Structure formats: structure tokens, C-alpha cells
């Protein structure tokens, strides 16, 4: 069913956008036997770009059947984020106990792996095509799309039983259905590739490096070649009215001001243009509707400073596929699936927004760029108030960092953890075996702290003062993950959940 001809007149599911969210959704749908058509504006190979993937992405890659392909692609491995501000450096490890590594990926190659996997599973991928309209009666109901294709003079109708919009911040359905969008302070990111010319200069840290400066931030990640991507984040006002040459001056001046990044490329040469992209955080005001959901950046966009956009997109695509699979195969459960997804996206958007604002608040004294994006000045987004409802227990970066350091420095037998608040089990819904199904969920102080990555109702009873190692073992037994790879992925997810519980002040380290 590899697409190489005219567009099919119908499909079980149409996915708008062939990036990480769209391809993850398409792969998951094909794994569950549904016909899927991915419609992508660009052709592979895509334009150059870079992304840092945290260690926990391995469980998603394994689920999508991509882990071996990614391992064989020889992407640079890295252990976390190296942050420098005011002369002080901190390395935030992805996996402070097991030291699992993430990936520094070239988006061109990574996206090719995703598209190839969709096609290998029999999915249609229509590149160089654009969705220009929506079909449905009454208005607001989505029953298909109108597609502009190079092979046709007029837009073609493609009927679908469900549509997933993973078109990025362009938001095809959001625009056509006027769903509304809320933006934070406007941010621009300038990125360029630097080729290291001499063998002696090809070392340096493999972690994503980030320096906090008064006017924004500078980051660098190392890739094959050897090449370093260097990106600069600034307020939109810093570039307004400036020519291409003046924008390049802003880019190079920021790099020169970075004591962390500048030495890494002091003998490198900039190859190719410096690309400017919009990195403004924002959120759709609606995530679901009759016959559709929004996934990835079409749903909400986080601050790019913590470099987890691709991971979030993959996860969002997988969950969106479970919703589509439920709607198509079990129409009686459609409302449950859509309600779950809407709630999950709102909570997720709120969690990410709260985390990002906490980061900016940490550095608000550095300069106006940071103060403008802090918790006290940012525009609220859907889901934020729900996260704050638990006695305003928002994340505290210093406390989270100290807790992470203790996990990293102490043997797992010595760290003993206890839940500080009582919770209750409620019946909710969650992805299970490619569908959205009823499940017990753990609620503390009125806040649903369940995670789609981990079965919190299995984890929380184990936080009774036993050692972290014992928590790992008991949790693996509870979810039935005896093999090494699933067990390691489960441990990474457990650690991420423990950090989240600690950020909400729900965990006591004995």
C-alpha cells in the first residue's frame, strides 16, 4: 500500500503532517491495522534541522519499531543538559541512576526513518501535497479533507472516518475551524551549522549545552560530520526591522557573549544560512472535536529552551492514534476517548507551561527576556489552573535539582521514598494496547497525577519508605516487564514520575 500514485478517495484515518507527531500516529495506526494516509507539504529529504532526544524516548522508539534503526544511524549519544548562567554550570542528567543516554539527531535523517517506517507498514504518504479545506456537515464535523496535489488541477476530496491534525503550529484544522490560539511572549530562534575543521577541535561535551544570557539564550549540540548546531533564542523585538546581515550580527554577537558555547566553535566555520524560526510558546483553545484531534505542535507549543519537543510530539502522536483507533473500531466509546484526550492535552499543556515558567522565573534577574516569560507575567494557557489547584504546588527548580542530585549521588538501596499526601483511585481512561480504555487513575488533592508514560496507580502504593531499588523491582513485577529493555525503560519513566511528584511537593526523601 505504498503511495506512489493518485490520492486514494478515502482512508480510515487521514493524518495532516508527516513530522514526528504525524508519523508516530500513522505508525501506531498501521500497527493496529487501520488504513492511514499521511499528507505532507514537503518532500523528503526535508530541510536541515537538529533535535535533542532524552533517554526516555527509547521506550517510544521501541513501541514504534524504530529503536534499532535509530541505534544503527550512529547519532551522537548524550546524557543530559549542561546549563551555564553567571559563571555557574550545572549538568542535568536524563537518567541520574542508570545513566542511560539520549540522542542528538539530525531531523532530516530522523524524519526519513519515520516516513520509511510508515511506508514499510503499508501506510500511504503523500508528499508535496497540502490540505486546503475540511469536509463535514454540519459545520464543525470533520469527515474528510480537501487536498491540493501536483497531480491534479483542482483540490481532491479525501473522505476519512477520523482526522489527526499534526501539521505543527500552522494548525490546518485550527485555522479552518477557527479553534482559537493563545500565544506567549514572541520568541525567535536563529540556528546554524558549524563544521569543525581540525581534529583537535572535534571534542567537547556531547550534552546539549545551554548558556543563559541577559538577552536570551545560546545552545549547542554536536552531530556527526563533525558538526555543531548552534542556536540563539531572543525576543522578537531584537530582530524586528533588521536586515539579514543585521540578524546574522545578532546571532554572532550572542554566541560571542557565551563563555560556554564560543570556545566550542572558535575554529569552526559556519556552513549554510542561519535559519530563523518562530519559537513562541502557545496553545490551541480546543484540542478535539467531532471527528478529529490535534497532535504535537498543532495542539500546543512549549518553550524550546528545554529541547523536548520531538519527544512530546512522538508521545502525542501515539496517544492520538489510540483515540482514532477507538473512534473507528468502537464508536460507542468515541466520547470517552475524545474526553480523555482533551483532558490529557490540557493537563499536559499546563504541566509544560508551569515547568517552563518556573525555569524563566529562576533566571528572571538575569534580564528582561527572562522576566517577561516568568510565571507572574505569562499568559495563562488551557490546563495551567488545574495543575495549580493542588495548593499552588508548582515546580521548584532548585528543589527538583537537589532531589535529582541525591538520586544521582546515592545508591538506589540508600534512597528511600514516601508519598506525603493521601490519594484515591478513580476510574478514568488511558491508552491501552492501541485503544483508549477505562482504567484506575491516581488522584491527590483533587489533581490527577496519573501519567500516560507510567501506571501511577501501581507506583504510588510502593512509595511507602522502601528503597528505590525495591520500588524498581516491585513496579516491574506489577506491570509485567521482566525483560532487560522494557525494565530499563520502565525505570527511566519511574524516575521521571518521581521527579514530577517531588516538584508537586508530594514526595518525601527519607
Interval 260-296: pLDDT, tens: 999 999 889 998 899 999 999 999 999 999 999 999 9
14-28, 130-144, 431-445: the lowest-pLDDT one: 431-445
CA 405 to CA 96: how far, in whole Å? 7
Pick the residue with more confidence: 457 or 92?
Answer: 92
Identify the H or E element spanning 135: strand 130-135
DSSP secondary structure of 241-278: T--HHHHHHHHHHHHHT-TTTGGGGTTEEEEEEEEEEE
Angstrom distance (rounded) from CA 202 to CA 390: 48
Q: How far apart are CA 296 and CA 287, in angstroms?
A: 10
What are the pLDDT digits (tens) for 30-78? 999 999 999 999 887 676 788 999 888 999 999 999 999 999 998 999 8
Continuous segment of H or E residues that includes residue 222: strand 216-223
Tell me the average pLDDT across 486-497: 67
Q: Is the pLDDT of residue 297 over 90?
A: yes
Round the CA-based radius of gyration of the chain to a whole number and report it. Answer: 23
Q: List the grid coordinates of 101.
A: 543516554
- How distant, in Å, are the alpha carbons of 19, 259, 275, 492 from that of 298? 11, 36, 21, 27
Of 111-115, 191-195, 398-402, the range with the lowest mean pLDDT is 398-402
Give me the helix-helix angle, 484-503 and 468-479, nearest 10°: 120
Which pairs from 287-290 meet CB under 8 Å and 24+ separation? Answer: 287/341, 287/342, 287/345, 287/346, 287/382, 288/323, 288/338, 288/341, 288/342, 288/345, 289/140, 289/141, 289/142, 289/173, 289/177, 289/179, 290/136, 290/140, 290/141, 290/142
Position 367 scores a pLDDT of 93
pLDDT at residue 380 in the model = 42
* The three three-digit cell numbers of residue 226, written as one number: 563533525
Task: Tell whether the model's pLDDT for residue 362 goes beyond 60.
Answer: yes
SS3 (DSSP) at 294? strand
pLDDT of residue 510: 66
Q: Among all chains, which residue has been given the C-alpha cell 546554524?
A: 192
Using 50, 70 and 90 to split pLDDT, how confident is the model at 447? low
Of 104, 28, 95, 99, the residue nearest 66 (C-alpha): 28
For residue 150, what is its C-alpha cell?
A: 501536483
Q: Could you tell me the pLDDT band of residue 382, with boundaries at 50, 70 and 90?
A: very low
| Residue 199, pLDDT above cutoff 60 | no
Q: For residues 116 and 110, what is the distance between their CA atoms, to the nearest angstrom?
A: 10
Q: What are phi and psi of 289, to 5 degrees?
A: -165, -175
CB 508 within 8 A of CB 418: yes
pLDDT score, position 252:
96
Judge contact between 318 and 63, C-beta under 8 A.
Answer: yes
Q: Is 157 helix (H, G, I), strand (E, B) or coil?
A: strand
Q: Which residues pair with 131 in a beta bridge?
A: 147
Q: Which of the two residues, 5 and 470, has the higher pLDDT score?
A: 470
* Look-up of cell digits 484515518: 13
In this prediction the pTM is 0.81
pLDDT of residue 299: 96
In percent, how much of the chain has pLDDT > 70?
Answer: 80
Identify whether the C-beta of residue 412 lies closer than 8 Å to the C-beta of residue 509. Answer: no
Average pLDDT score over residue span 294-309:
88
Mean pLDDT of 477-501: 67
CATH fold of 187-278: Alpha-Beta Plaits (3.30.70)
d(CA 288, CA 323): 10
Model pLDDT, residue 65: 96
Q: How is residue 155 annotated by DSSP?
A: P
Domain positions in the chain are 10-77+102-181+282-343, 187-278, 389-509
CATH of 10-77+102-181+282-343, one of 3.20.20.100, 3.50.50.60, 1.10.1270.20, 3.40.50.1100: 3.50.50.60
CB 58 within 8 A of CB 71: no
* pLDDT score of 204 more than 80: no
Do 346 and 274 meet the contact criterion of CB atoms below 8 Å apart? no
Least confident of 43-57, 389-403, 489-503: 389-403
Report how far Cα 201 is from the mean position of its chain's Cα atoms: 32
Q: Distance between CA atoms of 353 and 281, rounded to whole angstroms?
A: 9
**CATH for 389-509, options being 3.30.390, 3.30.2410, 3.40.1710, 3.40.1340:** 3.30.390
Res. 401 pLDDT band, cuts 50 70 90: low
399, three cell numbers:
528543589
Instruction: Give the list of residues 6+ apart from residue 285 with CB closer than 8 angstroms, or none.
Output: 179, 180, 181, 182, 382
Q: Judge whether 320 and 295 are in contact, CB under 8 Å.
A: yes
The CA-based angle 44-319-459, given to 5 degrees, is 130
**Among 134, 173, 123, 176, CA closest to 294:** 173
Q: Which three cell numbers stand for residue 504?
A: 508537586
Measured CA angle at 443 (ends 440, 447), to 5 deg: 135
pLDDT above 80 for 486: no
3-state secondary structure string across 4-52 = CCCCCCEEEEEEECCCHHHHHHHHHHHHCCCCEEEECCCCCCCCCCEEE
Amino acid at each position: 500500500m505504498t503511495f506512489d500514485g493518485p490520492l486514494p478517495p478515502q482512508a480510515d484515518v487521514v493524518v495532516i503532517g508527516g513530522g514526528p507527531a504525524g508519523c508516530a500516529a500513522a505508525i501506531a495506526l498501521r500497527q493496529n491495522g487501520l488504513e492511514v494516509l499521511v499528507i505532507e507539504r514537503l518532500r523528503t529529504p526535508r530541510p536541515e534541522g537538529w533535535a535533542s532526544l532524552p533517554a526516555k524516548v527509547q521506550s517510544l522508539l521501541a513501541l514504534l519499531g524504530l529503536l534499532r534503526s535509530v541505534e544503527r544511524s550512529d547519532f551522537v549519544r548524550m546524557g543530559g543538559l549542561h546549563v551555564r548562567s553567571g559563571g555557574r554550570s550545572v549538568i542535568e542528567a536524563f537518567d541520574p541512576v542508570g545513566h542511560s543516554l539520549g540522542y542528538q539527531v539530525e531531523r532530516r535523517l530522523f524524519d526519513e526513518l519515520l516516513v520509511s517506517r510508515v511506508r514499510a507498514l503499508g501506510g500511504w504518504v503523500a508528499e508535496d501535497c497540502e490540505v486546503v479545506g475540511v469536509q463535514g456537515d454540519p459545520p464543525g464535523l470533520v469527515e474528510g479533507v480537501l487536498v491540493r496535489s501536483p497531480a491534479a488541477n483542482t483540490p481532491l476530496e479525501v473522505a476519512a472516518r477520523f482526522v489527526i491534525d499534526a501539521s505543527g503550529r500552522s494548525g490546518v484544522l485550527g485555522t479552518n475551524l477557527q479553534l482559537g490560539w493563545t500565544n506567549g511572549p514572541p520568541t525567535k530562534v536563529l540556528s546554524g551549522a558549524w563544521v569543525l575543521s581540525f581534529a583537535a577541535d572535534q571534542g567537547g561535551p556531547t550534552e546539549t549545552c545551554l548558556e543563559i544570557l541577559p538577552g536570551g539564550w545560546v545552545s549547542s549540540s554536536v552531530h556527526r560530520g563533525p558538526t555543531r548546531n548552534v542556536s540563539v533564542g531572543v525576543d522578537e523585538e531584537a530582530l524586528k526591522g533588521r536586515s539579514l546581515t543585521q540578524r546574522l550580527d545578532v546571532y554572532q554577537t550572542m554566541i560571542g557573549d557565551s563563555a560556554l558555547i564560543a570556545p566550542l566553535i572558535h575554529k569552526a566555520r559556519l556552513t549554510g544560512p542561519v535559519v530563523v524560526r518562530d519559537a513562541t510558546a502557545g496553545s490551541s483553545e480546543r484540542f478535539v472535536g467531532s471527528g478529529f484531534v490535534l497532535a504535537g505542535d498543532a495542539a500546543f507549543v512549549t518553550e524550546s529552551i528545554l529541547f523536548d519537543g520531538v519527544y512530546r510530539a512522538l508521545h502525542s502522536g501515539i496517544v492520538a492514534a489510540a483515540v482514532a483507533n477507538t473512534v473507528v473500531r468502537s464508536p460507542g466509546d468515541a466520547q470517552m476517548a475524545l474526553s480523555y484526550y482533551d483532558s490529557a492535552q490540557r493537563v499536559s499543556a499546563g504541566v509544560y507551561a508551569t515547568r517552563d515558567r518556573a525555569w524563566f522565573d529562576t533566571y528572571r534577574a538575569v534580564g528582561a527576556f527572562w522576566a517577561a516569560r516568568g510565571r507572574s507575567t505569562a499568559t495563562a494557557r488551557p490546563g495551567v489552573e488545574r495543575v495549580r489547584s493542588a495548593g499552588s504546588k508548582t515546580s521548584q527548580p532548585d528543589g527538583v535539582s537537589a532531589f535529582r542530585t541525591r538520586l544521582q549521588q546515592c545508591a538506589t538501596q540508600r534512597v528511600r521514598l514516601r508519598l506525603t499526601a493521601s490519594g484515591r483511585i478513580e476510574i478514568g481512561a488511558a491508552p491501552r494496547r492501541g485503544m483508549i480504555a477505562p482504567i484506575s487513575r491516581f488522584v491527590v488533592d483533587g489533581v490527577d497525577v496519573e501519567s500516560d508514560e507510567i501506571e501511577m496507580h501501581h507506583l504510588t502504593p510502593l512509595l511507602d519508605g522502601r528503597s528505590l531499588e525495591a520500588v524498581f523491582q516491585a513496579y516491574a513485577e506489577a506491570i509485567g516487564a521482566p525483560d532487560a529493555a522494557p525494565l530499563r525503560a520502565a525505570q527511566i519513566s519511574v524516575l521521571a514520575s518521581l521527579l514530577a511528584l517531588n516538584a508537586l511537593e508530594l514526595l518525601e526523601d527519607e
